[in-house]
Structure formats: C-alpha cells, structure tokens
Structure 1
Amino acid sequence: MTVPRVTRPHMPGYGTLPADQGTGLLPWSWALKRLTDSHDYWVATVWPDSRPHLMPVWAVWHDEALWFSSSRGARKVRNLEANPAVTVSTGDALNPVVAEGVAGVVRDSVSRQAFLDVVNAKYRTSYDLDFLNTDDTATVRVRPRWVFGLDESDFGGSPTRWDFT
C-alpha cells in the first residue's frame, strides 16, 4: 500500500489551526476507512464546454483507487473520455473525503472481475462479468493525485491533505 505524503491544506479565512494543534493531521487510515465504507459517492466531471457535471454513484476503494461503473453513454463517462480529470467525494458532508485524480476506463477482464468481487461483497449484489459488457458499460478507475479529509468535530484542527505525487 502506498502511504501518501500528509500536509495541512492552506485554507485562508477558515480558521484552521497549525498542524500540531486541534486533532492534528488525520491518519491515512481515517480517510481510507471512509473511502472504503461510504455507500454513495459524488463524481464531478467537466463537460466539453467547461460546465461542471456532478452525479452520484456506487463505488468501491480497491487497489489504491476508487472504482465505479456506468453506462458508456452516460454524460460522466463521455466527459471523462474527453477529459480524464475528476473529483470524487464520499457521501458524508460532515466528515468528507474528497479525492482529485485521473480517471480511466478499464477494459481487461481480470481487473473488471476483481472490481465486481469487491462491489458484490460491499453492496451484497451478485453481478457477473456480463453486467460489465464492454460495449454498453464502462468500468472506471480513479487514481487519486491528492485526497482531502475533514473531521467535523474539529473543523479547525483536522483538515488534512494526502498527496500521491
């Protein structure tokens, strides 16, 4: 497992404390638990004309990336094919984990089956590879460049950024 570099993000005007005050920097395990356990996620992409696009998805954290599937014709997938920059957030606005990264459509059956195994375990589904027919469905892997987390109970003392570059 890659352990990202951790820092206190610069948040002018928000009253954030130095990294050694309040809760202090959150451990990567705090973010990883939320990336793994969240039921719903928000995926933000960009239309070709630069308008933002935001949609909810089911997703899983697997192999140091966030994975989801979608119809190949869905706006989010078409946006990602034109511009792979993406931001994904967990569904908890009070204790958010936000990941910015690069998305790619995964086509190999071994990786797609591994994704389905994690999806089926998490969501108690029984999808098979036919569900991810590569002509109709895209399997998307988001490799994070950075991740941001915040514990609401210590708004000023917990903001943490993990860098993967």
Structure 2
Amino acid sequence: MATNEPTTTLDPEFSAPGAEPTPWSAALELLENAEVFWLSTVRPDGRPHVTPLLAIWREGRAYFTTGATERKARNLAANPAVVLTTGRNALAEGLDIAVEGAAARVTDPAVLRRLADSYAAKYGPDWAFRVGDGVLTHDEGGEALLFEVTPVRAFGFAKGAYAQTRWDLD
C-alpha cells in the first residue's frame, strides 16, 4: 500500500555520475504541498489528454475533482489509468514527480467531507465544497465528482545534480 515505504531505485542511465536516489520523504513533501498538478488520461480513441488541476495528497493517495461532463471524467469512465505530475518549471533546480496509478470515483460521504475540508484548508475559501449526494457541490460551479488515485509507481526527476528515481508503491 502507498502509505508504506516504497522500493526505491536510482536509474544510473538517466542520472549524473555519483547521484543518489531522491528520498521518498522529499517526494511526499512536494506532493503534499504542490498547488498545481497536471493530470494525464487516455481518451476512448487512445489519444492522450493532459490538463492542469488542483489536487490533494492525503494518506498515500491523490484526490482531484472534475465535472461529470468534462473530458477527464469521460476518459476515466473508459480507462482509469492516469499519470499525475507536479514539480518545478526550471531546468537546473528542483524536483519533478510523476505518479502512475488508477483513478476511482469516491462517493462515500465521510471521505467526501474529509476531502472537502482538505480543499478548503489548502486552497482557501474559493475552494470550499459542500457534500452532496455522492458528489461535492460548490456555489460557483455546481457539482464535482471526486476521484482517488491509488499510486503504483512514481518517478522523481531531481535537477541540478540530475537523478532519476523510481519508487514502486505496491
């Protein structure tokens, strides 16, 4: 499960000589504090779809919202495979993370409440959700579906002293 310490591997082919693997704790810090993520899904015809969004990392999983008719929701109905990325838009410093997994819809009222509280705490009052019938609701945007990403693998791309780290989370 993703809350355990993952198996960590440094890929020497894509790392600088003498590079060390990035600790999972550094990846967690970035995942917990990042404000913007990029979600990659697969369209029913096989073409990729990428979009920026807000996400919460909590207890070893990622959570994001979308409208029921948005492209990402329609893609996930056909194929739950996703990659969620975040990091720094700089070449020589920082850390980029790509998390691979499967997204599943969350409808449990207790989980919806916890995540509604997490969104408001992290992103402020503009992202204050209420819990509806299996959805989150918002005065400005109607209903939002909540998805949970269970990660199976993540990659870290440390910059400066380049290091490509792989974390196997299953």
Q: Which moved more, 1:100-109 or 1:112-121?
A: 112-121
Q: 1:3 aligns with which of 2, 5, 11?
A: 5
RMSD: 1.8
SS in 2 for 1:159: strand
Matched residues in 1 for 2:87 and 2:75: separation?
21
Counterpart for residue 65 of structure 2: 69
Structure number having the greater strand percentage? 2
Q: Does the 8 Å CA contact 1:39/1:91 hold for their aligned counterparts?
A: no
Matched residues in 2 for 1:92 and 1:50: separation?
28
* 1:45 pairs with 2:41: yes
Query: Following TM superposition, by how much is the alpha carbon of 1:31 offset from its aligned partner in structure 2, in angstroms?
Result: 0.3
* 1:35 pairs with 2:19: no
SS in 2 for 1:150: strand
Query: Following TM superposition, by how much is the alpha carbon of 1:136 offset from its aligned partner in structure 2, in angstroms?
Result: 3.7
Counterpart for residue 118 of structure 2: 118
Counterpart for residue 59 of structure 1: 55
Q: Does the 8 Å CA contact 2:30/2:87 hold for their aligned counterparts?
A: no
Aligned AA (1:89)? T
Query: Following TM superposition, by how much is the alpha carbon of 1:118 offset from its aligned partner in structure 2, in angstroms?
Result: 1.2
Q: 1:49 to 1:31 in 2, by over 3 A?
A: same
User: Which residues in structure 2 correspond to 1:13-162 (within 5 Å)?
Assistant: 14=14, 16-17=15-16, 21-22=18-19, 24-94=20-90, 95-125=95-125, 126-130=128-132, 132-133=136-137, 136-155=143-162, 158-162=163-167
Aligned AA (2:159)? E
For structure 2, list consecutive stretches of 5 or more residues without a partner in the other structure.
none
Matched residues in 2 for 1:9 and 1:78: separation?
35
Aligned pairs, number: 156
SS in 2 for 1:53: strand
TM-score when normalising by structure 1: 0.87
Query: Following TM superposition, by how much is the alpha carbon of 1:91 offset from its aligned partner in structure 2, in angstroms?
Result: 4.4
Query: Following TM superposition, by how much is the alpha carbon of 1:42 offset from its aligned partner in structure 2, in angstroms?
Result: 0.3
Matched residues in 1 for 2:110 and 2:12: separation?
40
SS in 1 for 2:129: coil
Matched residues in 2 for 1:9 and 1:143: separation?
23
Matched residues in 2 for 1:101 and 1:58: separation?
17
SS in 2 for 1:32: helix
Query: Following TM superposition, by how much is the alpha carbon of 1:137 offset from its aligned partner in structure 2, in angstroms?
Result: 2.1
Matched residues in 1 for 2:98 and 2:12: separation?
15
SS in 2 for 1:110: helix
Superposed structure 1 runs of 4+ greater than 6 Å apart: none
